[in-house]
Structure 1
Amino acid sequence: MDISLESKYLKELGNGNHKAFDTLYIQYSPKVKHFLTGFIKNPDEASDMAQDIFYKIWTNRETISKVDSFKAYLFRMARNMIYDYYEHSLIEENYQQKEQYKSDYSDLIEEELYAKELSLLIDIAVEKMPPQRRNIFIMSRKDGLSNEEISLRLNISKRTVENHLTQALAELRKIAYSIILLFF
């Protein structure tokens, strides 16, 4: 658009002339949208941003009539809007990451609590086992001894150790199943 013609439209825009605004909008809106789309890669968002720019031009029409180069002013507004867009995107991304971290951390705490409760329930169940079974279970699961090592230490057969462990694990499975039914 010719500079003198642009200057004429800007003065008329400053006086509230809708046709001057429409002419400037028709002339520059596609260029602004194209410019914005090149940076944000989202045509719908770019279109909304272009609308916002022209809305600001209309609401500030009295001061815009004093601008030397409307095109430069318009693209400065578009550039600033791109900066704001990316700044907002970074803030939103940081917020989402913090919320995800909080959620993950909360899940970890909850899992840790469940694990401690389950461990406590297992310890209680083990304490209620007959002494020989309890002793074998502790040697196997807590001390990490093999069935053969336990049989040698307690001077019993390996098969007896296996039977006690099988019964101990069966009792613990019943308790675990009861706990699962409580939570689900």
Structure 2
Amino acid sequence: MGFKNLPDHLLIQKCREGNSKAFDQLFFRYFSRLYKYTIHHTGNEQLAEELVMDLMLWIWNKKETIEVKGDLSSYLFKAIKNAIYNHFRKIELDTIPIDLIIVDPPAYDNIDDQIAARELEEEYQLSLTMLTPQRRKVFELSREQDMTYAEIAGHLNLSVKTVEAHVSASLQFMRKRFKNYADLVTLIVVLNLLK
């Protein structure tokens, strides 16, 4: 029996009956699209493959109880978006690049997202005021104006080593401050990745 032209809901039904060939058809139908979507939002081919394979394996393992309301494509893309979010939630804040935290908040559609972005921005601005004036100047030139260490050194008449030390100390301080906002930071990072 051929499965290639069967609609998704019939393939799901066949999967519930334990038909692995029906599952294979769903796999081939959606893997590539989900994989490309996940690479686009994570920038990591290995991670993308792992997340999509885990999702498809989960679908097979839950085939007897899974409830797909509406379109399977929408269900799968929502599931992979959740998988991406959960992956980033598990990452320690120390592994999230500070540049992903310090962003100009985009125009979020959701009011809760707007509030979260505003709260994070306020925390960032407050953290800046706690740096010494020189350290703050160096940090802002590095992170907000994208100047190289050499450019900053020339601009402020400092050695490159001094600039490196200021940026390193500032990043360490910022990470400690943002640890209290780990869930919020993860949310903002993931929202920016998913835009």
TM bracket, shorter-chain basis: 0.3 to 0.5
Instruction: Compare the two structures and name the one with the higher helix fraction.
Output: 1
**Greater RCO structure (CA 8 Å; 6+ sep):** 2
TM-score by structure 2 length? 0.44
TM-score by structure 1 length? 0.46
Structure label with greater radius of gyration: 1
